[in-house]
């Protein structure tokens, strides 16, 4: 049996997220599994590095699947890109060690959140950025970003309901770059909780708009209460940029 690794790019706009669901076929996982199952005549299960939410995009999602088929990686690549919807692209296919697991072997991830901070939104990027017409104070946001770096309990910054799963994560860097009103918030860490990136971004946005004071962040982190942090930023601005093994 072969273990096949996929590098995937997708526009999440019209999908209900990565994960296969029982009440709809409109997920990234289902679309890819359907095409691969047709190609191999097997019941293929594709495992991703993580489950992106509805509306979230990926530049380099990593996934793997097992198959008894002898179809070459190049033929898998060609077939998938011929029959998948045009908003899902397989960028690379390769055979990999049987021990490789796209989710369990992840060491680090990088996410990018895109904001259009001009008074008038750009019609060509509106599906891929969050439009905020009010001017953001980027200096305050960069100061606030420093509080997230390092190992912390991010319970205040997740929508995770489970009380059994650890909410401790390590953020290695959090950079905020701006060019002509286009703001990129780039977060690099060892892992992220459910909606954690979008809640951190929403909190930083509120700092930038002056509704949360920078000095409140240590207390918000310490209190471990989701209701004390900022709002959840919309999904369309979020991209899974890189997965590191």
**Residue listed under structure tokens 């008074």:** 119
Query: Of 96, 128, 159, which residue is a domain's last?
Result: 96
Query: Of 40, 67, 96, which residue is a domain's last?
Result: 96
Question: Are 117 and 85 in the same domain?
Answer: no
Question: Are 88 and 205 in the same domain?
Answer: no
Question: Are 195 and 84 in the same domain?
Answer: no
Question: Is residue 22 over pLDDT 90?
Answer: no
Structural domain for 125, as ranges: 108-244
What token pair was written down for 173? 């860097």
Rounded Cα–Cα distance for residues 123 and 111 (Å)? 23
Structure letter (DSSP) for residue 233: P
Question: Are 123 and 220 in the same domain?
Answer: yes
Mean pLDDT of 14-37: 95
CB 192 within 8 A of CB 152: no
| Per-residue pLDDT reduced to its tens digit, 140-177 | 999 999 999 999 999 999 998 877 889 999 999 999 99
| Per-residue pLDDT reduced to its tens digit, 177-226 | 999 999 999 999 999 999 999 999 999 999 999 999 999 999 999 999 99
Rounded Cα–Cα distance for residues 36 and 45 (Å)? 9
Active site residue: 25, 53, 98, 175, which one? 53
Question: Are 73 and 155 in the same domain?
Answer: no
Rounded Cα–Cα distance for residues 204 and 141 (Å)? 6
Residue among 51, 57, 65 nearest 14 (CA): 57
By three-state DSSP, how is residue 195 classified?
coil
Query: Of 33, 61, 96, which residue is a domain's last?
Result: 96
The answer to whether residue 184 is catalytic is: no
Question: Are 117 and 231 in the same domain?
Answer: yes
Q: What is the pLDDT of residue 164?
A: 80
Residue among 212, 200, 208 nearest 237 (CA): 200
Domain count along the chain? 2
């Amino acid at each position: 049996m072969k273990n096949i690794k996929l590098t995937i790019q997708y526009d999440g706009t019209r999908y209900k997220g990565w994960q296969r669901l029982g009440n709809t076929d409109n997920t990234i996982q289902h679309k890819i599994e359907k095409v691969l199952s047709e190609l191999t005549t097997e019941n293929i299960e594709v495992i991703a590095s993580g489950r992106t939410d509805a509306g979230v995009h990926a530049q380099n999602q990593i996934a793997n699947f097992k198959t008894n088929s002898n179809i070459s990686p190049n033929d898998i690549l060609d077939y998938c890109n011929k029959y998948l919807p045009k908003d899902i692209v397989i960028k690379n296919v390769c055979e990999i060690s049987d021990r490789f697991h796209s989710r369990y072997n992840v060491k680090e991830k990088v996410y990018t959140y895109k904001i259009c901070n001009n008074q008038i939104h750009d019609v060509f990027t509106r599906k891929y950025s969050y439009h905020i017409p009010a001017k953001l104070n980027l200096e305050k946001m960069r100061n606030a970003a420093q509080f997230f770096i390092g190992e912390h309990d991010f319970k205040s910054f997740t929508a995770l309901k489970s009380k059994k799963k650890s909410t401790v994560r390590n953020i290695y860097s959090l950079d905020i770059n701006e060019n002509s009103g286009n703001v990129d918030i780039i977060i690099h860490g060892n892992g992220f909780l459910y909606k954690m990136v979008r809640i951190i971004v929403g909190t930083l946005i509120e700092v930038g708009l002056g509704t949360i004071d920078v000095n409140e962040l240590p207390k918000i982190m310490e209190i471990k209460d989701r209701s004390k942090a900022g709002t959840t930023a919309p999904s369309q601005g979020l991209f899974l940029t890189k997965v590191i093994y």
